[in-house]
A and B are shown apart, each in its own frame.
Chain A
Amino acid sequence: MAKRETPRLDSLNKKKKEKEKKMDESSKHQQEENVGDKQLHQGFSGDEEELTESESDGPVLSEDEDYVSADGDDSLHNDPSEENEGGSSESHQGIEESDSSEDEVAPRNTIGDVPLEWYKDEEHVGYDISGKKIKKKVRQDKLDSFLASADDSKNWRKIYDEYNDEEVELTKRETRLIRRLLKGKAPHAEFDPYAPYVDWFKWDDAKHPLSNAPEPKRRFIPSKWESKKVVEYVRAIRKGLIKFDKPKEEPRVYHLWGDDSSSTEKAGHGLAYIPAPKSKLPGHEESYNPSLEYIPTQEEINSYQLMYEEDRPKFIPRRFLSLRSVPAYENAVKESFDRCLDLYLCPRARKKRINIDPESLKPKLPSRKDLKPYPVTCYLEYKGHKGAVMSIATEASGQWIASGSIDGSVRVWEVETGRCRRVWEIGEAVHYVAWNPLPGLHILAVSSGQDVLLLNTGLGNDEEQKNIEQLLRIETPGSMDDTGNTTSIVSWVQDDKHGGIRLKHFKTVSSVEWHRKGDYLSTVMPAGESRAILIHQLSKKLTQRIPFKLHGLPVSSIFHPTRSIFFISTKKNVRVYDLLKQKLVKKLETGLREVSSIAVHPAGDNVIVGSREGKLCWFDMDLSSQPYRILKCHPKDITNVAFHHSYPLFATCSDDCTAYVFHGMVYSDLNQNPLIVPLEILRGHSSTNGRGVMDCKFHPRQPWLFTAGADSVIKLYCH
């Protein structure tokens, strides 16, 4: 409060002086003015009195003001004239004063400043000063009031006073005032807001000072704090902390790479700097006027819409016929921004870009001419089967081949003429045929359904025939019972129809393999579980199980060509057993999905395994149990693989109607790895029912290959 007091007093002083001046002016005009002006004069004079009064005792005024501001609601209930006394703003007062014509007539309604809605539904608008209800007047209806207004020229002056519920007519002076107010001028025309200031208060001649307090010391000694501040600034200036009029600094450019020789140091933090790749240089198609062939046709542009967003070309070439017609490129800023993003957001890594001729990737292989002879072209076709030829077998001398077909027939052909020597109608689909490997023993093992037939082919001289017939005779059924438990697995039965022995199995037999000495043969029944692989002895007519546990479904089995070792391939792996010691020698891990066939190199140390996914694995048994080489040669299943007995050749045949012939040289030097060279792709078979070539076998002496196709044809490929 005390703080506010002094300025307040000053302002009051000033105001008072101004008012005095105005009063003077208005008194000059008084003679010309009418009665209303007199009222104004009165108002001013009254005001002056109040002000002088308040000036004498400042604190009182401030209290009064506080009172007003604190509970304004109370003051509103007071008489408006009372309110005016508390008011401080001069102009406001002036207006209030000018409205004094109304103020003189005390308001009839005494409800105060309450919402008039409260009386909306009542019959009275309020109460007069004596507390009597002021009745609402009967309202004119709209039509009447409109008519009245149309008649009455002075109607525009009339204002409805809601508070008192009466119509008031404005005087001319009042309208003039309103007009001036609307224009934003002072309401009274005679009021001059820019009047020169007149100092009414004469200080010089006054007896007493305005304030009797002695002049404070601070008025006439320099400020200590100011001087301290000055000293501080002076020091700062001297030290150069504060500079004046710093010239606008231009970015300084200097010889930055002054001595290139010394700056051999790498980037500070020891990490290799990877420069960003430069943006791609534009090609012909980006030209403003490219050759016509670079511009895509409308159909091509439309077809871009069908592409994936990533594949869609980002830039579609356009052609402008002259340089002046080239517009600004709409993506200029965008592309620049994208480049910026690439520069600071893209992870960078050094990538080795190999710039080599793809041909150099191909391995250097010995020329195929040097690896001759090998089967190249088809020379002979053996036709006669009605259905797919499932299996073929070559006779040891190489003069005959036997074939078994799905039509239930087994045929023996003469190799060189293609003549069919003999036909057996088995009646059931033949899955496998195998010729006894002994040259004098012309016995053919045929698997069809659940039976294995040992057939006498009738070849060879009389002595041999005698021998064969003796072998293929079962003396007494009684002797069969000696075998004891094996009887339940297989029964040896004399087959009179075909002149041989029928071995009745309990499940379908998929393959039959002879031992090299021609006395034993093994059969595989994939569904046979623990008795899936059986070994039969022809001379004793005996059958025995292999004493090993099988892991997984067996696919095929094969005897080692020289030693008493037995290979069993299951779907995943190949297990190698020693039959004499009766134990597992090795497990070859193919890594294939499904093994289909297996063949052993005549030397016995290398095995090839074909799979249903078209891959061929070459195992070197001395090297490791992992494949030495995996060749992906066929797009479809490999049905069979075969080694040549004497030539370094092996072949695969597949359902894609091709057979591959490879050169597979195995060296006696253990340090040298086998050499595998693909030599020829043999075509010629056609596909039936999705099957292609079913079997392939090499001629035992010549480098020829027999292939049996699902198209019921057997082909001979010669060198």
Chain B
Amino acid sequence: MPKHYRPPGKKKEGNAAKYITRSQAVKHLQVSLPLFRRLCILKGVFPREPKKKVKGNHHTYYHTKDIAFLQHEPLLEKFRNIRAYDKKVNKAKAKKNRDLAERLLTRRPNYTLDRLIRERYPKFTDALRDLDDCLTMVHLFASLPALESEKIQVKRIHNCRRLSHEWQAYICRTHKLRKTFISVKGIYYQAEVEGQKITWLTPHTLQQVLTDDVDFNVMLTFLEFYETLLAFVNFRLYHSINVKYPPILDSRLEALAADLYALSRYFAANSSATVLGSQAVSSSGAEQIDITKDGTQPDESELRLAQLQHQLPSNEPGTLMHLVEDASCEDEDDEETRECKTLFKNKKFFLSREVPRESLLFVIPAFGGVVSWEGEGAPFKEADQSITYQIVDRPTQGHIFLSREYVQPQWVFDCVNARIILPTDAYMVGRVPPPHLSPFIDNEAEGYVPEYAEMIKRLQAAARKEVLPIPGAGKEDLDDPQNLLVEGIISRTEANEVAERKQKMLALENQYHNELQLELQGVQYSSSVSNMNKQSSVEDTEAWEESLPNMQQIAEDTTTMSKVVMSRKKRRLYEAMQIGKERKRAHVNLLKERKQKIEAAQGSQKS
């Protein structure tokens, strides 16, 4: 009996029973393909790779259990209901019965996704782990235009904006932001929440390019799930810091599109309100008592009131700072958060019109700075004398306050990544800033360290030393910016020394090897048969001389010999690894080559 023959009564076994193709699944579920797609997206069901592809190589396979899982999903029934209902509406429309159609539309069956979220992410950390795509998508849609033709509604765009701002406000408030990177694609942020590293990309705040080779139905289905997920995640996070979740914002600031700032104000107001809750209620004026007398007053308005009360003092510069400090004293943070919190401490920033306000309003307070901007609703004006840095992105700066430094926005991002305050000379107005490097790359592992990364490392080392010898050295000379340079020089000389030592070691090693070789030859010579004639010995010495530069050959031989004894599987693996290494090395070599060329070109220009 051939192996593939299955007698009529017998069930399928193995991969044939475990996996079905997509078209089989669609047929089995009795749904249309778009609906199946939608269900898969919402339920998080993905095709799996069977060990043996029974139906052929060009099919997608789903596990039968996954399909059964979809089949028992209440949402499936719900979608069927909705479809039937939509038919009703269409019928009414076709009969020109607009009343009926409108009335029917008001009672369209609705569905929620919260159960699915709980099902897909039984723990909160699971949800956080999968938040990368969610955040990227929500941030992308927050910057997309509403398109009627693609069914991208204004409401959803606004919801995305709101959710993204809420998320950013939380990260900013709890100082959980770790890395930032301005790329061509947008700005990457990395935060660490509950031990999970969450990276997301926000597009540059410009009119986005819409291409027509994109199926927005798929994206909107994803977005639907992501919106719900982010809302629940935000709720949970807000509750973890004792802030009421759907935040009520100052409508004035909201109108000025300073949502993030409004949110931060809300935080500030709320946290202090919770701390001082009872006190506020007792000490507030007669009007508040009137309100509480109303009895049925929901607590929202109370919060609102508290917020409004705090609005007055927080308008003054520094109050926000104060509040932030207050909050930070309360909770115990890990080392890194503390470091992040204090990076821009006691520094005041002012943003010019042309810099990307949203991202800087997010980044600077996340690292403990105070920030204002040019425009309405700003907490302090440009003329404020206490501003330490003004962030400018224009070719020339007309009026200059001498009390502050004018830097390009990249400086902030570089400082954040390096965790030190970098010298501002290179980032001055009108200059081409130094290269912006990715914080996500481990330079050592990559095998190539860009020049500026080395400089930053030196500065970091210098900064660390600055912290250490406080009791010994006087603080005043450490504050001196020139000291940094001195430190840099010291570390450089150190590095040189190390390099020299290394070279010496290498030379020694080489010598040792040579000696070893000599010894080997010597032994052979002495032990070789005594009646070996002169000619052969001469030849021998020649051969030895030849073999001297053949060190490389010997090394090669040892690798090939060890490869000979390996089993085939291991050898193939080893070779594959070698290929990967070789590719990496080629990339690094290419970079070095380019670098050399560029340096040569610059040298020739100078001379």
B window 178-200: CB within 8 A of A: 181-186, 188, 199
For A254, list chain B residues within 8 Å (CB): 114, 232, 235
Nearest-CB distance from A423 to chain B (Å)? Answer: 21
Across the interface, which residues of B come within 8 angstroms of A282, CB to CB?
A: 181, 183, 185, 188, 438, 440
Contact call A349/B48, Cβ cutoff below 8 A: yes
Q: Are B565 and A631 in contact (CB under 8 A)?
A: yes
How far apart sit A518 and B37, CA to CA, in the bound complex (Å)?
83
Complexed CA–CA distance, A341 and B60 (Å): 13
Q: Tell me the smallest distance from the CB of B74 to a CB of chain A, in Å.
A: 13
Known: A363-B565, A365-B565. A347 touches B49 (CB 8 A): yes
Query: Which of A278, A318, A323, A678 contacts B182, CB < 8 Å?
Result: A323
Cβ B117 vs Cβ A345 within 8 A: no
Enumerate chain A residues within 8 angstroms of B436, measured Cβ to Cβ: 287-290
Q: Is the CB of B47 within 8 A of A348?
A: yes
Tell me the complex Cα distance, A303–B106, Å. Answer: 60
Query: Which residue from A260, A333, A632 sits with its C-beta under 8 Å from B210?
Result: A333
Count, chain A residues at interface, CB 8 A: 100
Residues of B within 8 A of A270 (CB): 65
Beyond A281-B440, A333-B211, whether A416 also contacts B222 by CB under 8 A is no
| Interface set, chain B 399-414, CB cutoff 8 A to A | 408-410
Q: Are A718 and B528 in contact (CB under 8 A)?
A: yes
CA distance A631 to B117 in the complex (A): 56
Within 8 A of A (CB), among B562-606: 562-566, 568, 570-571, 573-574, 577-578, 581, 591-592, 594-595, 598
Given contacts A253-B231, A275-B130, A287-B181, contact A334 B211 (CB under 8 A): yes
Mask for B104-134, Cβ within 8 A of A = 1, else 0?
0010001010100111111110010110110
CA distance A547 to B236 in the complex (A): 90
Are B182 and A288 in touch, CB under 8 angstroms? Answer: yes
Q: How far is the CA of A372 from the CA of B598 in the complex (A)?
A: 53
The reply to whether B235 and A256 contact each other, CB–CB distance below 8 Å, is yes
Inter-chain contact A257/B127, CB cutoff 8 Å: yes
**Docked-complex contact A288 and B183, CB < 8 angstroms:** yes
Closest chain B residue to A329, Cβ basis: B185
Given A330-B209, A340-B219, does the pair A287, B437 have CB atoms closer than 8 Å?
yes
Q: How far is the CA of A560 from the CA of B527 in the complex (A)?
A: 34
Residue on B nearest A324 in the bound complex, by CB: B393
**Distance of A126 Cα from B432 Cα, bound (Å):** 96
- Compute how far the CA of A459 lies from the CA of B1 in the bound complex, rounded to whole angstroms: 70
Cβ A332 vs Cβ B208 within 8 A: yes
In angstroms, how far is the closest chain A Cβ from the Cβ of B338?
25
Contact A347 B61 (CB under 8 A): yes
Chain A residues with CB under 8 Å of B595's CB are 292-293
Whole-angstrom distance between the Cβ of A77 and the nearest chain B Cβ: 40
Given contacts A269-B65, A297-B594, contact A379 B440 (CB under 8 A): no
Stretch with Cβ within 8 A of A (4 or more), from B93-101, B339-347, B533-541? B533-541
Known: A282-B440, A365-B565. A328 touches B123 (CB 8 A): no
CA distance A683 to B592 in the complex (A): 36
Nearest A residue (CB) for B580: A358
Pair B66/A269 contact, Cβ less than 8 Å: yes
Residues in B neighbouring A287, C-beta threshold 8 A: 181-184, 435-438
CA distance A315 to B184 in the complex (A): 10
With CB as the reference atom, state the residue of chain B lying closest to A291.
B435
Interface flag for A198 (CB, 8 Å): no
- Tell me if A340 and B47 are in contact (CB < 8 A): no
A329's contact among B186, B433, B435, by CB below 8 Å, is which? B186
Report yes or no: B66 in contact with A348, Cβ–Cβ below 8 A. Answer: no
Given contacts A279-B132, A279-B133, A283-B441, contact A377 B543 (CB under 8 A): yes
Does A346 touch B at the CB level, under 8 Å? yes
In the complex, A143→B208 CA distance in Å?
68
Partner of A345, one of B60, B450, B598: B60
Q: Which of B82-90, B136-144, B321-329, B506-514 contacts A (4 or more CB under 8 A)?
A: B136-144
- Is the CB of A381 closer than 8 A to any CB of chain B? yes
Which residues of chain A have C-beta atoms less than 8 A from B40's C-beta?
A: 344
| Min CB gap B71→A, angstroms | 11
Q: Mark contacts of A371-396 with chain B using CB atoms, 8 A cut-off: 1 yes-contact digit, 0 otherwise.
A: 00000111111000000000000000
Q: Is the CB of A322 within 8 A of B433?
A: yes
> Which residues of B in the span 461-476 have a Cβ within 8 Å of any Cβ on A?
none
Q: Residue-by-residue, is A679-701 near B (CB-CB < 8 Å gives 1, otherwise 0)?
A: 11100000000000000000000
Is B451 interfacial (CB-CB < 8 Å)? yes
Restricting to A402-439, which residues have a CB under 8 Å from any CB of B?
A: 416-418
| Distance in Å: Cβ of A229 to nearest Cβ of chain B | 16
Report whether A417 and B211 are in contact in the complex, using a CB–CB cutoff of 8 Å. no
Judge if B286 is at the interface, Cβ distance under 8 Å: no
Residue of B nearest to A662 (CB): B564
- Which of A286, A328, A348, A349 is within 8 Å of B204, CB to CB? A328
Q: What residues of B have a CB within 8 angstroms of the CB of A719 in the complex?
A: 524, 527
Contact at B46–A344, with CB atoms within 8 Å?
Answer: yes
- Could you say which of B65, B213, B440 contacts A334, with CB atoms under 8 Å apart? B213
Evaluate contact between B532 and A379: CB separation under 8 angstroms.
yes
B500 within 8 Å of A by Cβ?
Answer: no
With CB as the reference atom, state the residue of chain B lying closest to A377.
B543
Closest to A718 in B: B528
Partner of B46 from A289, A348, A363, A377 at Cβ < 8 Å: A348
Question: Using a CB-CB cutoff of 8 Å, which residues 329-368 of chain A contact chain B?
Answer: 329-337, 339-341, 343-349, 354, 358, 361-363, 365
> Is B408's CB under 8 angstroms from A322's CB?
yes
A291 pairs with B124, CB closer than 8 A: no
Shortest Cβ distance from B187 into A: residue: A288
* Given A265-B122, A275-B130, residue A336 in contact with residue B591 (CB < 8 A): no
Which residues of chain A (660-719) have a CB below 8 Å from chain B? 660, 676-681, 702, 718-719
Tell me the minimal C-beta distance from B309 to chain A in angstroms: 26
A281-B188, A631-B565 are known contacts; what are 5 more A-B pairs with Cβ within 8 Å?
A284-B441, A287-B436, A293-B595, A293-B598, A349-B48
A/B interface sample: 9 pairs, CB < 8 A: A257-B127, A286-B438, A324-B394, A329-B184, A336-B137, A346-B47, A381-B539, A418-B533, A678-B565
Chain A residues packing against B (C-beta within 8 Å): 246, 249-257, 260, 263-271, 273-276, 278-279, 281-284, 286-295, 297, 315, 317-318, 320-324, 326-337, 339-341, 343-349, 354, 358, 361-363, 365, 376-381, 416-418, 630-633, 660, 676-681, 702, 718-719
